[in-house]
Amino acid sequence: MFLALASICFLLPLNGEATFANTTPIVATVQKVNGMATVIRQGQAISAKIGLELYQNDTLLTGRDGSIGVVFNDETLLSLGPESLLVIDEFVFAPREGKFSIAVRMVKGTVAYLSGLITKLAPESTHFRTPTSSIGIRGTKFVAKVEGE
C-alpha cells in the first residue's frame, strides 16, 4: 500500500502540473509555436511550448491561429499549419541496431515535411498516412493539405 501511494505522489509534483510515467524514448522536440498548439498525450492536453519533448503516440493539434514546428531525433522537420491534427504513430531511430521507422498520420490540416536521416538511410521505413491515402516518402520534402470532415 505504501509503495502504491509513494508512486502516485511521485507522479504529482508540487507545482500542480501532471507528469506522465513514460518509458518510451523521446522522439522529437517542439522548436516553434505560434498561437494555440496542443499535444495530446495519454488522453491529457499539454500546451505546446518550445523545448517540449514528444513521444511516440503523441497527437499534435493546432487551433485556428496556431502552428507548430518539431524536429525529430533523426533531423526530420515537420511543421503544422492552423487547424491541423497529426499523430506520431511510430518513430524508431537506432542506427547501431539498423532499426529505422517513422510513421505519422495526418488527420486534417496542412503540413510541411523535410526528411531526415531515416529517409536517407532507409527510405522504405518512412510512411505518411492520411484518411484517404498512404505515402511512402523517397524524396526530401513535401507539403500536404488534408481536408477535415
β-pair partners for 8: none
Q: Report, in angstroms and rounded to the nearest whole number, the Rg of the chain calculated over CA atoms.
A: 16
Q: Reduced to 3 states, what is the DSSP secondary structure of residue 144?
A: strand
- pLDDT tens sequence across 91-124: 999 999 999 999 999 999 999 999 999 989 998 8
Q: What local confidence, expressed as pLDDT, does residue 134 receive?
A: 60
CA atoms within 13 A on the CB side of 99: 6
- pLDDT tens sequence across 27-71: 999 999 999 999 999 999 999 999 999 999 999 999 999 999 999
Task: Judge whether 114 and 77 are in contact, CB under 8 Å.
Answer: yes
Q: What local confidence, expressed as pLDDT, does residue 9 receive?
A: 39
